[in-house]
Amino acid sequence: MKDKEISFPHAKINLGLFVCQRRPEDGYHILQTLFYPIDWRDALEIIPEGEPGHCRMVQTGICIDGDPEQNLCVKAYRRLQRLYPDLPGCCIHLEKRVPFGAGLGGGSSDGAYTLLMLRRLFGLPLNDDQLVKEASAMGADCAFFVRCNDYDIAPEKRQAQYCEGIGSELVPHIASLRGKYIVVVKPPFGVSTREAYSQVHPQWPETPLEKLLTLPIEQWRDTIHNDFEDSVFPQYPQLAQVKQSLYDHGAIYASMSGSGSACFGIFDSLPSTDILTWFEAGYEARCTQALL
């Protein structure tokens, strides 16, 4: 057994997000979206500690209130404990940097990376498909971070993941933003998933997102949409202003990410630093290069 594992779970953006249909049997929505990784990260350390079944959560950085047992890192441990009742105890230290309620998948990434780290730390005989199954049971986005992580997947094998389903039905996609710059802007408030879905009207698109993604990025502005903008922007007009400001600063494509409050812009070249300070106090803006 190793003495510890360390990783840096990354966030994601959604390149397009169509809400196609609500499933009557369980209320989940069928989506079309492309998950794409970005270089905004938390830090995660897991150390063996205590008796089997013991899981102590230490969280620093951005404060997350609530029962530690509801944290996706602890939920990941508990899922594996169901499979392996003698799973050694551990201490999980999460340094939280990716904001929550932003549509960036930070919590899902932490949970997925915890699964990956526990598998390696304790030598668990789980293959990737089995781990994806456990991740999917934790949350819709978690499977993506198992399929496209930089913890145990070689760089040349990582790919964006296309989804047509509830979030866990994933197919590798050749979409690449290599050479582009991505500016992500997070306002000083979040948007809950319930809030985002409250006013959305599901419908199947005339052209599937998978086909639209093959168009030149310069055409995405007029063809690829995040349906949650229709329900969230009227409630939070500041987000529409953020999206427009990204275009005003030279973005070739801009969108809200997921169902949260973050917006992003894709740039051909490194944008001027004034875009990172242009927004009002309380807004956080980051510029990263594309990971794929």
Question: Is 141 known to be catalytic?
Answer: yes
The dihedral region occupied by 59, where left means phi > 0, alpha psi between -120 and 50, and beta the remainder, is beta
Question: Is 243 known to be catalytic?
Answer: no
Which of 12, 75, 186, 243 does the annotation list as catalytic?
Answer: 12
Distance of CA 225 to the CA centre of its chain: 18
Which of 42, 110, 141, 227 does the annotation list as catalytic?
Answer: 141
Catalytic residues: 12, 141
